[in-house]
Amino acid sequence: MEKIISTFIDNNDNHYTKKMELTTSILMDTIREFIVSQYKSQFGINPENIDMYVTGFILFNMHRKKHMLKNKTKFLEYVNNDDISIEEKMYFENIVLYIQQPDFLTDEELEKFRACGVLD
């Protein structure tokens, strides 16, 4: 079981730490809250199918390197890859692209991609 260590300062400026075990439930709830927060800040509403976004978040973050955000060629390779799940693509398209809009895509290209799922 993984643990996190938190550091605190009491009223006498003494530092102390607390260890907390991270359960799967705590991690999943944290991811869920993070996604709801991101989605709500972008769209003003709670996401439907939150569990699909949680799955997509986990799968997307399992990539060691995020090459899909480096250039248009890598981006197109990623979005056209049939080995990427629907959940991961949904998370990428609806959350990652809104927050980390790649410099190599214009606003117009990005909106066309979101609307049609293709780029020229």
Asked whether the whole model's pTM tops 0.95, one would answer: no
Name the percent of the chain lying above pLDDT 90. Answer: 43
Domain ranges in the chain are: 3-116
Question: Is residue 35 classed as helix, strand or coil in its secondary structure?
Answer: helix
Residue type at 93 in one-letter notation: E
What is the tens place of the pLDDT at every residue in 63-108? Answer: 888 888 889 899 888 988 999 999 999 999 888 888 888 888 888 8
Paired tokens of 54:
């949680």
The pLDDT score that the predictor gives to residue 120 is 67
Has residue 49 got a pLDDT over 70?
yes
Provide the sign of the torsion angle of the four alpha carbons 36, 42, 47, 50, taken in this order.
negative
User: Cβ neighbours of residue 37 under 8 Å, at least 6 residues apart?
Assistant: none
Among all chains, which residue has been given the structure tokens 């990428």? 92
